[in-house]
Chains A and B, each alone.
Chain A
């Protein structure tokens, strides 16, 4: 029976194809010249180059963090290529100018860059290796005053906004990988929602690493002005390759007074094979700052990557601000995930809610690491944390590392945790009712993840469903 489970969790990675497209790729190596090359390539202003160089110099003085519960061979940062772009990319303009091969690849991934096919009501910014190859529905969004474009374009066309907010939540000195990203980030998405505007579409960035031996270092900056609302989605895939590839991204969210930002991720980078060969090292810094009455909600479904190191966090700066974190993390094969969140309560009556569901299978190791910090002035702060682990088989592991620091006695914190195991008995029960093993595992897992899946936007819930092979609850349910 456990052989059946193994087969199911060990299914072929269906996004593992690579696209044969001519690329201009920087030779491996990292120095100030690399930083200058990228900055020049993007025709950046002097202030941004300076910022990158400061980050690079800072990075040189830092050491890679080894406190996460993961093990891997030392990374040779000089063997990575820090920039790759498809040769045919013209300066961003009409979507018609995108290389048909790229369009084909995105459609193979289920991402339509064709605005005619407006099935899902999602505006997409597609990032291929180091550059954004196209952003859909820009004009429609512009009517509302919403800016949604590649990061490079934002630097050129909205420099004041970028300058004001870049690094304001995740400073370049924040941590080793954030510093590296700040030095060499190549592209990403930028989004600004004006005062009082409710963004009519889901905004989405789809990240694809194609070139072998390249790292992807993208940066996303979302600014929600006072009283605005936006729901943002992020998806990621990469071809199957035998070598590990580095992905060190930074996402910054600023939610000004009374704004709400919902950020959802389905991360499905290539995870490596069952012997741990290949796969993406996913070292990501994601953080939001919520001002008065603002709300930031992170939802993530992490199924890919050989190693995941990621703690989407919220700084609850303003009074009455709310931070949420809903997570499903799967570690199968030889995957290692060390993921969780930080909720930093600064303002009064701030609230945070954490729901983490970790699934470990085969030889996967899954760690939840979360911090709740109540600062002295956070009168009346509240936190609820629920942390559940599910084990499939006998060779995997689940670990929980909660950190709680309370400096104000009026705070109320709750923490619940559980560990369960998918048993042969559960699977046999469902099989005896006519469901095959795959449906059975899907049903058990979907039940386990229900509280998180219901937080995902519909379009994404469907993708997550496909990803985990899960049938979601029907309308009678």
Chain B
């Protein structure tokens, strides 16, 4: 589904990613871990198409197509979803309206008929249960005045509504208490299917107690310095990142 080959990316001329190679198959969950500044979030942003990042070399194939050539909205319409580390507030725009616009944009891109507000309400009510969200949240402005936990839950709600093929979760666990973490992870697990995949970017191992990865990759200095199974995450929890960094240096 996703093939990243020797990817180099820079922001404002400063190289951040220095040769990432990674293959994600349908049905898999990959965890990307690493210390602060290792390039984890950059990788997530690059995959989603953030314009601030320049791809200097390498390639990204998504379902066999060149992802780099696609605008951010095209990627989204094709099923790439990024759950943001810092979800953005849009004052005055209701959550329901925003969600429906996003849902319809995807339908439209697929040449399907858009749904009206009533149809959409039925659909979204189902998804609300998944993340244990109060329906009143639909009528509040997008993320405006939401608590940290509400924002992250709202990200997973969007993910549930948009039903992505490739979901990228960027530090979705940061700032969550244990109950919220469980709800968020539960939502992600419920959406898992053989025909989709997820990349979970996280600093800590604790999220991986709830979302069990098929593979764990450790990023340091813009490269993947180690890959392994889920047990690698436990090892990192016990030993920290230093031993890996020293080994690389």
Which residues of A pack against B, CB within 8 Å? 1, 420, 423-426, 428-437, 439, 443-444, 446-451, 471, 473-477
Residues of B within 8 A of A443 (CB): 90, 93, 98, 101
Q: Which of B49, B71, B90 makes the CB contact (< 8 A) with A444?
A: B90
Besides A425-B88, A431-B73, A447-B142, 20 other A-B contacts (C-beta < 8 A) = A420-B91, A424-B52, A430-B102, A433-B98, A433-B158, A433-B162, A434-B77, A434-B105, A435-B105, A436-B71, A443-B90, A447-B90, A447-B92, A474-B97, A474-B117, A475-B117, A476-B118, A476-B138, A477-B97, A477-B117
Residues of A within 8 A of B141 (CB): 447
B139 at the interface (CB under 8 A from A): yes
Give the total number of A-B pairs whose CB atoms are below 8 A apart: 103
Q: Give 6 nearest A-B pairs by CB, closest first.
A: A447-B92, A434-B105, A447-B93, A476-B117, A433-B102, A434-B76
B102 and A435: CB pair below 8 A? Answer: yes
Residues of A within 8 A of B105 (CB): 433-436, 439
- Could you write out 26 A-B pairs with CB less than 8 Å apart? A1-B51, A423-B88, A424-B52, A425-B88, A426-B88, A429-B90, A432-B76, A433-B76, A433-B98, A433-B105, A433-B158, A434-B73, A434-B76, A434-B105, A435-B73, A435-B101, A436-B73, A437-B73, A447-B91, A447-B92, A451-B92, A474-B97, A476-B94, A476-B117, A476-B120, A477-B94
Which B residues, 63 to 77, have Cβ-Cβ distances below 8 Å to chain A? 71-73, 75-77
Which residues of B pack against A, CB within 8 Å? 48-52, 71-73, 75-77, 81-82, 84, 87-88, 90-94, 96-98, 100-102, 105-106, 109, 117-118, 120-121, 138-139, 141-142, 158, 162
Main secondary structure of the interface of B (DSSP, over half): helix
A431 and B90: CB pair below 8 A? Answer: no
Known: A433-B76, A433-B162, A476-B121. A428 touches B93 (CB 8 A): no
Residues of A within 8 A of B84 (CB): 429, 432
Interface centre among B49, B51, B77 (most CB of A within 10 A): B51
A477 and B139: CB pair below 8 A? Answer: yes
A473 and B97: CB pair below 8 A? Answer: yes
Residues of B within 8 A of A428 (CB): 48, 50-51, 72
Q: How far is the CB of A147 from chain B (nearest CB, A)?
A: 40
Please report the C-alpha to C-alpha distance between residue A432 and residue B82 in the assembled complex, in whole angstroms: 7
Interface centre among A429, A433, A443, A451 (most CB of B within 10 A): A433
Main secondary structure of the interface of A (DSSP, over half): helix
Residues of B within 8 A of A436 (CB): 71, 73, 105
Q: How far is the CB of A449 from chain B (nearest CB, A)?
A: 7
Residues of A within 8 A of B96 (CB): 474, 476-477
Please report the C-alpha to C-alpha distance between residue A439 and residue B49 in the assembled complex, in whole angstroms: 17
Q: Which of A429, A432, A433, A450 makes the CB contact (< 8 A) with B92?
A: A450
A430 and B50: CB pair below 8 A? Answer: no
A430 and B90: CB pair below 8 A? Answer: yes
Chain B residue, CB-CB nearest to A473: B97
Please report the C-alpha to C-alpha distance between residue A424 and residue B96 in the assembled complex, in whole angstroms: 22
Q: How far is the CB of A390 from chain B (nearest CB, A)?
A: 10
Q: Which of B81, B88, B97, B106 makes the CB contact (< 8 A) with A476?
A: B97
A434 and B90: CB pair below 8 A? Answer: no
Please report the C-alpha to C-alpha distance between residue A74 and residue B39 in the assembled complex, in whole angstroms: 57
Known: A429-B88, A477-B139. A434 touches B97 (CB 8 A): no
